[in-house]
Amino acid sequence: MSIYVKQAGTWYEIPSGGAGLPGLGGWADITTATGNPTKHAYKDAAGVDWVAYEWTSSGSCTTTEGLVDSLLVGGGAGAYNGNTRGDAGRFLSGIRQIPSGSHIVTVGPGGSPANVGNENALLGLASSIGSYATGVVSAGGGQGAGSTATDIYAGMPSSITGVLVEYAQGNLPSPRPNKGDGGTPPSGPAGSSGCVIVRVPRANAKA
């Protein structure tokens, strides 16, 4: 059976077994997962059984070489100097090839509110799995990961866990835990921490 995944507006056919994609291979097996990730097991609208591992604190995983579908959200920035909005955490998603072995999973914390002379405190730090990382974010205009001309604070939607969630919104008065939201003045709430989510077909989820 083939699995169809949409990435950057294009649908890709990935066989659930066998040779997989030329030059890339098939899906990776996830054989261990530490750090107490939440497992989301579900069947999508196309009838494909998935298991998604969601880390909200740092840990690790061990995989065979192959493909995973991933979502990484970095920590959001805190508000700055009482009048500058915190940008949302950096957002990376899509199918990627992962090597065999053990991979460190880091969940980026959100930045604290900061005043002049303490700018580094407000930084939202990167989330990563192995060498794949989101980058760091600071205060700015409160930009969300899905910023548009009509809504600069918008986040990015994803249903990688089986439930549609909007991640990485900017300029929120009450940033949501583990969604990578940016804080807003004047009281200057901290940005929220990010998350790391990796999913594979159920047959490849062995942890």
Q: How far apart are the first and last CA of the chain?
A: 22
Please tell me the pTM assigned to this model. Answer: 0.87
Query: Is the pLDDT confidence value at 15 over 80?
Result: no
Residue partners of 174: CB distance under 8 A and separation at least 6: 189
Name 98's bridge partners: 66
Give the whole-angstrom CA distance, residue 112 versus residue 117.
13
Cα 143 to Cα 77, 123, 148, 155, distances in angstroms: 10, 14, 9, 9
Residue partners of 24: CB distance under 8 A and separation at least 6: 67, 97
Q: Give the confidence band of 50 by pLDDT, cuts at 50, 70, 90.
A: very high
Query: Is the pLDDT confidence value at 112 over 70?
Result: yes
What mean pLDDT do residues 84-90 have?
Answer: 90
Q: Which residues in 24-135 belong to E strands, given as ranges?
A: 30-34, 38-43, 49-55, 59-63, 66-73, 85-86, 91-98, 101-106, 128-129, 132-133
Query: Is the pLDDT confidence value at 122 over 80?
Result: no
Asked if 26 contacts 12 with a C-beta cutoff of 8 angstroms, the reply is no
pLDDT in tens, 53-85: 999 999 999 999 999 999 999 999 988 776 788
Which region, left, alpha or beta, applies to residue 192 given φ > 0 means left and ψ of -120 to 50 means alpha?
A: beta
Asked if 23 contacts 97 with a C-beta cutoff of 8 angstroms, the reply is no
| Strand 128-129 relative to strand 101-106, pairing | antiparallel
**DSSP tag of 1:** -
Query: Is the pLDDT confidence value at 22 over 80?
Result: no
The closest of 199, 207, 204 to 94, measured between CA atoms, is 199
Q: Give the confidence band of 139 by pLDDT, cuts at 50, 70, 90.
A: confident
Mean pLDDT (the chain, rounded): 86
Q: What is the pLDDT of residue 19?
A: 43
What mean pLDDT do residues 111-125 have?
Answer: 72
